[in-house]
Structure 1
Amino acid sequence: MTQKKVLLARRLPDAVLARADDLFDLTVREKTTPMTPSEMRAGLAIYDGMMPSLGDQFSEEIFNEFGRPRCRVLANFGVGINHIDLDAARAHGVTVTNTPGAVTDATADIAMTLMLMSARRAGEGERLVRSGAWEGWHPTQMLGLHVTGKTVGIVGMGRIGQAIARRCHFGFGMEVLYVNRSAKTVAFPATQVDSLTDLAARCDIMVAATPGGAETRHLIGADVFAAMKPGAHFVNISRGDVVDEAALIAALTSGQIAGAGLDVYEHEPQVPDALRALDNVVLLPHLGTAAEEVRVDMGMMVLDNLVAHFDGREPPNKL
């Protein structure tokens, strides 16, 4: 039987590539940058399936150049799919899948990393040591926020939000508050509140863990930051455009909030000079799932979705 032609838009770990090469007539795009519109159009015309990822903007305009493209499945590498117009994909007969589950714990771990780094001023402290300007310990040096026993507010109580909440409750004895579009039943103490501003006013650390997309763009803006305590910290591991970045910069610059930890940015990979200049923000280069075993699991899930589609079965992670 002729193998299906598949394009991987980014290079994946060797174990994933080896399996993919056995399964498909495989092409691996060597660039690490997002696909260009011409690459996406060519991919839809040439391949039976593709693995896009973050930044590959499969918009309605891209799909509208085709009736039914040859490519009938986009097996996204990652959970977030706000870069793919799902309605347009379905209208043109293209199935879209993602990789939930595999990313949950790794992303929650990065949220905790950012939470601790921001609250305890770890990034600022490391820069001080590296600069050679550290003059030694003293009792009032770089005092930050003690995390244990504080209140965390989580925006979005899906898989990742719940994994963060579990770590906060069981690991740090924190009170957990959250906002979510629907009611949730969770296996640990957590209180759902009615509004973002209510959440902001009551928590010491707010964590954005909601999906990206048009519905959540700038969900967290000036009104939310204004409601936060002056000593509070904000963490974002969701999508950059969930946050009004200009409002966040203003809140950090004015001292309206004490600090922030970010793994994602509104116009990624561009990070505003004003944000990079601030000492009270921790900036990571989208490390959410950057662990070898996690990326292998994600890649294998992509392949499972592709195989199911080509076998005529419903992919396990069809959207």
Structure 2
Amino acid sequence: MPATVLVLVETINDYLPILEHQGFHLILAPTPSERAQAIATHGGQIKAVLTRGPLGLYAEEITALPQLQIICVIGAGFEHVDLQAASNRGITVTNGAGVNASSVADHAMALLLALVRDIPRADAAVRRGEWPKIMRPSLAGKHLGVLGLGAVGMAIAQRATLGFDMSVSYHNRQHRSDVPYRYCSTPTELARASDFLVIATPGGIGTRHLINKQALDALGPNGFLVNIARASVVVTADLITALEQRRIAGAALDVFDAEPQVPDALKTLSNVILTPHVAGLSPEATQATVELVGKNLQAFFVGRPVLTPVALPPPTQSEHAS
């Protein structure tokens, strides 16, 4: 009997035949109401869940899925998946770290270029029949700071150095001896060394609010910030104030605290570019992501190790399922 997979992700429908052809039975539930209904109606037969970090899977939902054995997360982040609840039940969790790195890095550089060169305002001016001669900085010779030097951060750094003749520094959980970039010991030190600061670190408790007023002040009035990671890495109120007071030059954001809601203050600022969490979306990345999910599911259900496991906390005995 084929395993039933609950699909909570809303952007991969064109590639779901990959999983169907592998014999999995899919239940699509991309909206909150459909999600609740699917769990209530089919909870007893669902053995796998396909989700994204911001969509997550919560403890009460895991409890309502007694047959659940594996949670597959698209993308690197799994911040709203209750790893403790999964561990307590012995449920495997996988992610897709690195699969969409090229797409995310492309989007980060596109945002940086559009922001620094003020492309959206120039475009709007021409459409209004205006012809402004706006003097904007070049990227060549500037210093890029990358917060989080994983697969995405590396792809951004390579584009910056090889494509735009920029120098790169980074801050990571630990120093990397295998890269030619300068290591900064704190996010604030990285911001101080940077003309442009790109956030490419995972979300979660370990990276929450790494970029605050102190770091933004270190970036300074000529500095630009790009976030294609998770909004939780930045104190949004501090960012808005810094933008309003021009204590930084501008920001480009693909991620927000309460998606799809975006603070009105950000929408009204002329030194901000906003995109709807689409950095990782490309046909190439989406196909590769779903293929990886399929490989993880196939491996799991025939008793082989999954390809991209997420480390889980030890189970808590008081909650451990009997």
Q: Which residue of 1 aligns with 2:148?
A: 156
Which of residues 173, 178, 192 in structure 2 aligns to 1:186? 178
Per-residue deviation, 1:45: 3.4
Corresponding residue of 2:81: 84
TM-score (norm 1): 0.90
Task: Say whether the 8 Å CA contact 2:70–2:93 is kept in structure 1.
Answer: yes
What RMSD in Å do the two structures reach over aligned CA positions?
Answer: 2.1
Note if 1:22 corresponds to 2:29. no
Alignment of 1:31-180 (within 5 A): 31=30, 36=35, 39-40=38-39, 45-63=44-62, 65=63, 69-130=66-127, 132-134=128-130, 136-137=131-132, 141-180=133-172
Q: Deviations over 1:263-316 (max 9, x none)?
A: 111111110000001110110111112211211111111111111111111110
Alpha carbons 2:4, 2:27 under 8 Å: kept: no
Paired with 2:241 and 2:39, the residues of 1 have a C-alpha distance of 37
Structure 1 residue ranges without an equivalent (≥5): none
Amino acid across the alignment from 1:56: L
Structure 1 partner of 2:250 = 259
Judged with a 3 Å threshold, the aligned counterparts in structure 2 of structure 1 residues 29 and 315 are, in CA distance, closer, same or farther, namely same
User: 1:308 maps to what in 2?
Assistant: 299
Cα offsets for 1:117-173 (capped at 9, x unmatched)? 11111122222233x151x25xxx322221111001111111111111111111111
TM-score (norm 2): 0.89
Distance 1:25 1:302 in 2: 11
Structure 2: which 5+ runs fail to align? Answer: 311-322
Aligned to 1:205: 196
SS at match of 1:153: strand
The one-character-per-residue Cα deviations of 1:217-237 (angstroms, maximum 9, x if unpaired) are: 211111111111211100001
- Structure 1 20/36 Cα, relative in aligned 2: closer, same or farther at 3 Å? closer
The answer as to whether partners of 2:56 and 2:78 remain within 8 angstroms in 1 is no
Is the CA contact 1:71–1:94 (under 8 Å) kept in the aligned structure 2?
Answer: yes
**Helix, strand or coil for the counterpart of 1:194?**
coil
Amino acid at match of 2:204: G
Whole-Å separation in 2 of the counterparts to 1:227 and 1:52: 36
Residue type of the alignment partner of 1:171? G
Alignment of 1:219-298 (within 5 A): 219-298=210-289
Greater mean alpha carbon deviation, residues 14-23 or residues 306-315? 14-23
